[in-house]
């Protein structure tokens, strides 16, 4: 088993971490199930279940949602892998078959998001679905998948940051070996590291931020959603701001060729700013000209019930006022 011991600055004892969940033979073939894939699959499953539940609440066609899910998943995986391989081409150009070895890591979240959104937009156009309502649901589902999926990086001991003396800083022989073997590459990108010191667990930062973001977006959906696309734009601000900061700590960033500019950091900053500007403009526009949300809102039935109750209450008050008025007229 591919196992390493992980130590944290604030904890005396280490933890055995294996990148392999199970190994067995089936029909004469050796099968290996890795934690990386299993964790991502688990996060994906929870995201799909939540998205399906929300789609049901919003009375969206399950058949159409399945079409979006299938195509977005396929194009999301392709986009994530292609995005990563394009910016790491030197690593794959001599042995391109390794592009297919996704279980070894190397899926870029932005590539996955871009691929998934393109597929979802096309399917929505063909199947006549409200694209922005779909994106609102997908944003919350994405945060679930990202928050859980990042722990696959922990199993592989990858996607970590620069040296730190913080109590949650982690160290393992696998991390130290990576730093030693890639010291020249790190130095070329302006990063100096000591393989004997702990590093920032950036996977943990992103996991916590994404799961917290899910809670925030869900509350906004329930209490303050004003228009279709609002949750998607909020996701862009929330995730973009976090990634722009955390990406600065990472040691495995993808760089613009010939520079020390981190692709994801620039993209994240642009995403956060653009989404924030659009979000503010649309909220101001809504405040001036409020209107119902396009499509079926999550709490449409509750809202209609509330309106009916308020109408009935007003009618009862009018009847009581009328009765009081009649009594007063009779007394006169």
The mean pLDDT value for 150-157 works out to 91
Cα–chain-centroid distance for residue 40?
A: 12
Residues 275 and 134 in one domain: yes
Q: Which tokens belong to 306?
A: 């509330």
Residues 170 and 276 in one domain: yes
Q: Which tokens belong to 207?
A: 């996991």
Residues 182 and 40 in one domain: yes
Residues 231 and 163 in one domain: yes
Q: Which tokens belong to 200?
A: 């920032």
Residue 73 lies in a domain: no
pTM (predicted TM-score): 0.81
SS3 30: strand
Residue 268 lies in a domain: yes
Residues 165 and 186 in one domain: yes
Task: Round to whole Å and give the CA distance between 289 and 199.
Answer: 50
Residues 148 and 190 in one domain: yes
Name every residue whose Cβ is closer than 8 Å to that of residue 276 and which is 6 or more positions away in sequence.
Answer: 233, 237
Residue 6 lies in a domain: no
Residue 228 lies in a domain: yes
The pLDDT value recorded for residue 108 is: 79
Residues 279 and 156 in one domain: yes
Residues 268 and 176 in one domain: yes
CA atoms within 13 A on the CB side of 61: 11
What domain count does the chain have? 2
Residues 180 and 158 in one domain: yes
Residues 204 and 166 in one domain: yes
Residues 273 and 304 in one domain: no
Confidence of residue 86 (pLDDT cuts 50, 70, 90): confident
Quick check: 299 and 222 in contact, CB under 8 A?
yes
Tokens 């010939």 sit on residue: 258
> Could you give the C-alpha distances from 178 to 95, 199, 251, in angstroms and in order?
20, 12, 10
Give backbone dihedrals phi and psi of 173, rounded to 5 degrees, phi first. Answer: -60, -35
Torsion over CA: 79, 272, 296, 128 (sign) = negative
Question: Where in the sequence is the domain holding 200, given as residue range(s)?
Answer: 36-60+130-289
Residues 320 and 185 in one domain: no
The pLDDT value recorded for residue 294 is: 65
Lowest mean per-residue pLDDT among 166-170, 192-196, 294-298: 294-298
């Amino acid at each position: 088993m591919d196992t390493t011991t992980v130590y944290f600055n604030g904890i005396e004892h280490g933890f055995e971490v294996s990148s392999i969940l199970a190994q067995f033979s089936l029909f004469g073939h050796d099968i290996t199930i890795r934690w990386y894939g299993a964790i991502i699959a688990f996060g994906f499953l929870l995201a799909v279940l939540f998205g399906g539940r929300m789609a049901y609440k919003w009375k969206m066609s399950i058949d159409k949602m399945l079409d979006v899910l299938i195509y977005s998943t396929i194009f999301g995986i392709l986009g994530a892998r292609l995005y990563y391989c394009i910016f790491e081409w030197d690593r794959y150009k001599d042995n391109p078959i390794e592009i297919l070895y996704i279980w070894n890591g190397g899926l870029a979240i932005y590539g996955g998001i871009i691929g998934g959104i393109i597929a979802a937009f096309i399917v929505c156009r063909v199947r006549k679905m409200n694209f922005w309502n779909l994106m609102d649901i997908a944003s919350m589902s994405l945060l679930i998948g990202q928050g859980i999926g990042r722990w696959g990086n922990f199993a592989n001991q990858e996607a970590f940051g620069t040296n730190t003396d913080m109590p949650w800083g982690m160290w393992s022989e696998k991390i130290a070996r990576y730093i030693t073997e890639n010291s020249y590459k790190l130095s070329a990108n302006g990063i100096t590291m000591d393989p004997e010191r702990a590093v920032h667990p950036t996977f943990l930062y992103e996991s916590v931020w994404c799961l917290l973001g899910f809670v925030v977006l869900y509350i906004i959906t329930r209490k303050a959603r004003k228009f279709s696309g609002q949750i998607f734009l909020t996701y862009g601000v929330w995730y973009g701001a976090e990634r722009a900061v955390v990406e600065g700590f990472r040691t495995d960033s993808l760089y613009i060729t010939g520079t020390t500019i981190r692709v994801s950091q620039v993209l994240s900053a642009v995403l956060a700013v653009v989404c924030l500007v659009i979000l503010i403009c649309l909220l101001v526009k809504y405040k001036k000209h409020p209107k119902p949300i396009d499509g079926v809102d999550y709490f449409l039935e509750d809202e209609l019930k509330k309106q009916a109750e308020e109408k009935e209450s007003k009618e009862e008050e009018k009847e009581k006022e009328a009765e009081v008025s009649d009594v007063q007229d009779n007394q006169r």
